[in-house]
Amino acid sequence: MNFSSKLLEDAVNAFASLPGIGKKTALRLVLHLVNREVDTVDQFGDAIVKMRREIKSCKVCHNLSDEELCMICRDARRDHQVVCVVENIRDVMAIEDTGQYRGLYHVLGGVISPLEGVGPSELTIDSLVQRITNNEVKEIVMAISPTIEGETTIFYISKRLKDLHVNISTIARGVSFGGELEYADELTLGRSIVARIPYQRQE
């Protein structure tokens, strides 16, 4: 690309350094910002720079947070005896969006994957064990993707926790709501028959 302006070129390169954004898209975004108010663009830059400078990792659950303890860990109305273990903060947001969970979280930062060089020590598993040892936690809910790496991670954590008096559950697996049975994969369909649950009549 031939830029007639260094300022333009630097801004395009900044956007193009982000994942999934090529030079053409970057140029489109920059030309959009050229037409915005100076104040709006200042706010745009500030929001991003401030976020990176001030954001913290919650010292209890490792979720992203504005303070030492995240909003969820600080919330006294939530059930502090249940901890949901997830891979990343996107999963926390997805579960929060359902509005169905009122306990706390623990963000692992990934799953055990020898192929990608991620061992237990790269994750926040020690911190989870510590947290359960020190606090009154009754239940751990494993909300981890049902992949080979995910299952390995659940297995490893359950072994580490076996001497602590804590119940371990996993989120239910089965056929999606709204999904057509014939398109469900064999493994999911097979397991959802084996793990069938009593029908609850809607009163």
Return d(Cα 124, Cα 153) in angstroms, integer.
12
- Tell the smallest beta-carbon distance from residue 53 to a second copy (Å): 6
Return d(Cα 20, Cα 6) in angstroms, integer.
23
- 79 vs 164, beta carbon nearer a second copy: 79
- Tell the smallest beta-carbon distance from residue 127 to a second copy (Å): 18
SS3 of residue 79 by DSSP: strand
- Tell the smallest beta-carbon distance from residue 182 to a second copy (Å): 29
Write down how long the chain is.
203
Query: Contact positions toward a second copy, by CB under 8 A?
Result: 1-8, 10-11, 13-15, 17-21, 25, 27-34, 36, 38, 41-55, 63-66, 70-72, 89-90, 92-93, 96-97
- Tell the smallest beta-carbon distance from residue 162 to a second copy (Å): 30
Displacement of CA 143 from its chain's centroid (Å): 10
- Tell the smallest beta-carbon distance from residue 102 to a second copy (Å): 13
Q: Which residues contact 137 (CB under 8 A, 6 or more apart)?
A: 80, 81, 82, 83, 131, 166
The CA-atom distances, in angstroms, between 1 and each of 8, 137, 157 are 11, 57, 50
- 92 vs 144, beta carbon nearer a second copy: 92
- 118 vs 184, beta carbon nearer a second copy: 118
What are residue 62's DSSP bridge partners?
none
- 27 vs 123, beta carbon nearer a second copy: 27
Contact between 127 and 62 (Cβ < 8 Å): yes
- 33 vs 118, beta carbon nearer a second copy: 33
- 29 vs 184, beta carbon nearer a second copy: 29
- Tell the smallest beta-carbon distance from residue 129 to a second copy (Å): 23
Return d(Cα 138, Cα 161) in angstroms, integer.
12
Residue for token digits 């991620």? 118
